[in-house]
A and B are shown apart, each in its own frame.
Chain A
Amino acid sequence: MTTAPTASAPSTAPARPRTRWRVVDIVVAAVLGVATGLLFVLWNSVGYAWFTAMDALTPGFGGLAVGIWLIGGVLGGLIIRKPGAALFVELLAASVSMLLGSQWSIETVYSGIAQGLGAELVFLLFAYRRFGLPVAMLAGVGAAAAAFVLELFLSGNLAKSPEFLGIYLGSLVVSGALLAGLVGWLLTRALAATGVLDRFASGRSRAR
């Protein structure tokens, strides 16, 4: 007896979203947050090297590395599909990263809240009914925009030149759309194919 899935009439029309969080939603979101937090810790050295090298040598292109730090919100929204999931996963990932010793300490948590909210707002805009590639990329962009606004104050970026800020915003948006949005969407699809998301609507819609 295999557990190979059989597609039973996949619904193409977005179903009415179920907004109540089940235990499995909460726990899997938490595990996702912890795993993403570990990824952040890794990226805090690898990606940060890129970020700072680019940031120091070029005006604003450091933003291209930021997308990975935005992926928690996109993954949370795409996989769990519940209101608040993007925020919860990104915030938890940031907190884990902080508790393990991120160089941004408490500011990591502020970033987590802002970036999570940025992605969350996009999912809210689509009423938690659409989770395709465009929405994923928009969520990445939302997180990037939120990160940009927060850093104006957190990193004192308001004091920087308009040219720098323009390039920085541009590279953040591209990075958010690709490294967070596209990669998050591809990851969700690959995870759905493994069957680990079978208890989620995101895992059962893989027949599409």
Chain B
Amino acid sequence: MTGSRIRARGWGWRHAGRAVPAVAGLDLDVEPGERVLLLGPSGAGKSTLLAALAGVLGGEDEGDETGELAVDGAHPAGLRGTAGLVLQDPQANTIMSRVGDDVAFGCENLAVPRDEIWRRVREALAAVGLDVALDRSTAALSGGQRQRLALAGVLAMRPGLILLDEPTANLDPEGVVEVRDAVARVAAETGATLVVVEHRVETWLPVVDRVVVLAAGGGAVADGSPAAVLDAHRAQLAHDGVWVPGLPVEVARGGRHPGEALLVGEALRSGRDGAAVHEPLDVQVRAGEALIVTGRNGAGKSTLALTLAGLLPPVAGAVRATAPLRGELAAEAPIRWRPKQLASRIGTVFQQPEHQFVAARVRDEVAAGLRALRLPQPEVDARVGGLLAALRLDALADANPFTLSGGEQRRLSVATVLAPAPRVMVLDEPTFGQDRRTWSELVRLIASLVDDRGCAVVAVTHDADVERVLGDRVLRLGGER
């Protein structure tokens, strides 16, 4: 099997209903077997290009195509099985309920004979190092396993071109390495051409032999060997949100004044439906201090955070709010507070912003929690205006929250939780899948909450950089990694 050749000449695509093209005037040649890392600011059309190469961009009623795009000399929309695509969200890549069926799905669609299908399924699973039974439920897989399963599904189709759209952005560090290594092995064994989109450059440097940088709304602005491109464009790339190696984000922390304990967990075990997911813990959440909760997949980090946040009842032990946090409330346990009593004391930012949205406009979204508190309208307007400006959302005040980009949605979800001014903030993977720019905005904001406003922060994260900056105290669940 040999790799596919990509050729683009003045290629562009404008989604139907949008004024500005996602990609315009792109000239690009990729030789068979090349391994390309595709970089650029968010909105530069990287995902659009991958979708086009995979032939899944849709027909003429979904957008306007300009110029010419070819994979192995033909327009990709007419090809099936030549290119395989792995998407960012591990959940989105799983199609069938059982592991073997999921890998077989692509082969079936390409009308591969049955015996050949199962031979390919076993080969593909071995190639990505996924050693589970064929009838294993796909619901039971971790994020890293799911992405390798998706890669196996692609591989079983024997594509000449493998396209990966931020395949490791939503994974924990172990998952990232698992997937990266599987991709490296597959690329080396099959000789397929590889195009990867990813903000975290360092992860992929050992795998790729070429870096192409796209400009927002334009074509390629840089192209060459990884070392050459990174050296020449380091500052610009960092500004565009790319994680350039050797250029960590520095976030200044003010003088720390850890204050009184606001929340106390005593012999606390948290879990869902009565089943505890970790051993008893004693934990204190203090004003003016950030507590990082980390640990391997499934160690119960999110469950613990939701329990501290007064959203899940403890399985054993207790969560107690101290007098300074609880104020005039009689109940010590936050789980017993009413929703608006909770929201003005403990705010929670969920992993997926879309789960939190309740309004049709960004402005109303931020105001919703304040209206529930029955604050006077001028006060509501003032707080909403201030938060929107602080989180660079003022231009989007009248947009529908669901139409925002991933980074904007994340900032909005933080704004909605900040609005009732809680003293404790609980954040579940706040930096998941964010580019460097949004990342640094978020981390700076969280740091200032702790240092300047004396808030207590509990952040669940896999992100070593978040831990480095915000880890005033670190709680590691499920033993040492």
Contact A7 to B17, CB < 8 A, known contacts A1-B42, A18-B61: yes
Contact across chains for A3 and B404 when beta carbons are under 8 A apart: yes
Contact A196 to B58, CB < 8 A, known contacts A2-B396, A7-B17, A8-B18: no
The count of residues in chain A whose C-beta lies closer than 8 Å to any C-beta of chain B is 21
Contact across chains for B403 and A195 when beta carbons are under 8 A apart: yes
Q: Is B339 at the interface (CB under 8 A from chain A)?
A: no
Contact across chains for A2 and B404 when beta carbons are under 8 A apart: yes
How does the 8 Å CB contact mask read for A185-197 relative to B, with 1 for contact and 0 for none? 0000010011110
Contact across chains for A8 and B19 when beta carbons are under 8 A apart: yes
Contact across chains for A6 and B19 when beta carbons are under 8 A apart: yes
Contact across chains for B396 and A194 when beta carbons are under 8 A apart: no
Q: Is A5 at the interface (CB under 8 A from chain B)?
A: yes
User: A6 — which chain B residues lie within 8 A by C-beta?
Assistant: 17-20
Choose among A8, A24, A196 the residue with the greatest number of B CB atoms under 10 Å from its CB.
A8
Q: How far is the CB of B93 from chain A (nearest CB, A)?
A: 14
User: B19 — which chain A residues lie within 8 A by C-beta?
Assistant: 6, 8
Contact across chains for A194 and B403 when beta carbons are under 8 A apart: yes
Q: Is A107 at the interface (CB under 8 A from chain B)?
A: no
User: A198 — which chain B residues lie within 8 A by C-beta?
Assistant: 15-17
Chain A interface helix/strand/loop/mixed = loop
Contact across chains for A4 and B61 when beta carbons are under 8 A apart: no
Contact A5 to B58, CB < 8 A, known contacts A193-B400, A195-B403: no
Bound CA–CA A199/B59 (angstroms): 10
Bound CA–CA A4/B397 (angstroms): 11
How does the 8 Å CB contact mask read for A1-42 relative to B, with 1 for contact and 0 for none? 111111110000000001000101000000000000000000
Q: Is A201 at the interface (CB under 8 A from chain B)?
A: yes
Q: Is B65 at the interface (CB under 8 A from chain A)?
A: no
Q: Is B332 at the interface (CB under 8 A from chain A)?
A: no
Q: Is B408 at the interface (CB under 8 A from chain A)?
A: yes
Q: How far is the CB of A206 from chain B (nearest CB, A)?
A: 9
Bound CA–CA A22/B60 (angstroms): 12
User: A201 — which chain B residues lie within 8 A by C-beta?
Assistant: 61
Bound CA–CA A25/B396 (angstroms): 30
Contact across chains for B402 and A195 when beta carbons are under 8 A apart: yes
Bound CA–CA A2/B405 (angstroms): 6
Contact across chains for A196 and B402 when beta carbons are under 8 A apart: yes
Q: Is A204 at the interface (CB under 8 A from chain B)?
A: yes
Bound CA–CA A198/B22 (angstroms): 15
Q: Is B259 at the interface (CB under 8 A from chain A)?
A: no
Give residues 1-40 of B contacting A (CB, 8 Å): 15-20
Q: Is B43 at the interface (CB under 8 A from chain A)?
A: yes
Contact across chains for A8 and B17 when beta carbons are under 8 A apart: yes
User: A190 — which chain B residues lie within 8 A by C-beta?
Assistant: 360
Contact A1 to B58, CB < 8 A, known contacts A6-B17, A193-B400, A195-B400: no
Bound CA–CA A145/B396 (angstroms): 45
Q: Is B452 at the interface (CB under 8 A from chain A)?
A: no
Contact A4 to B402, CB < 8 A, known contacts A24-B58, A198-B17: no
Q: Is B62 at the interface (CB under 8 A from chain A)?
A: yes
Contact across chains for B43 and A1 when beta carbons are under 8 A apart: yes
User: A204 — which chain B residues lie within 8 A by C-beta?
Assistant: 16-17
Bound CA–CA A5/B43 (angstroms): 14
Give residues 154-208 of A contacting B (CB, 8 Å): 190, 193-196, 198-199, 201, 204, 207
- Contacts A2-B408, A22-B59 supplied; 7 other A-B pairs, CB < 8 Å: A1-B405, A8-B18, A193-B360, A193-B400, A193-B403, A195-B400, A195-B403
11 A–B contacts, CB within 8 A, in A order = A2-B399, A3-B404, A4-B399, A6-B20, A8-B16, A18-B61, A190-B360, A194-B400, A195-B403, A198-B16, A198-B17
The 7 closest A-B CB pairs, nearest first, are A1-B43, A194-B402, A195-B403, A6-B19, A204-B17, A193-B400, A4-B399
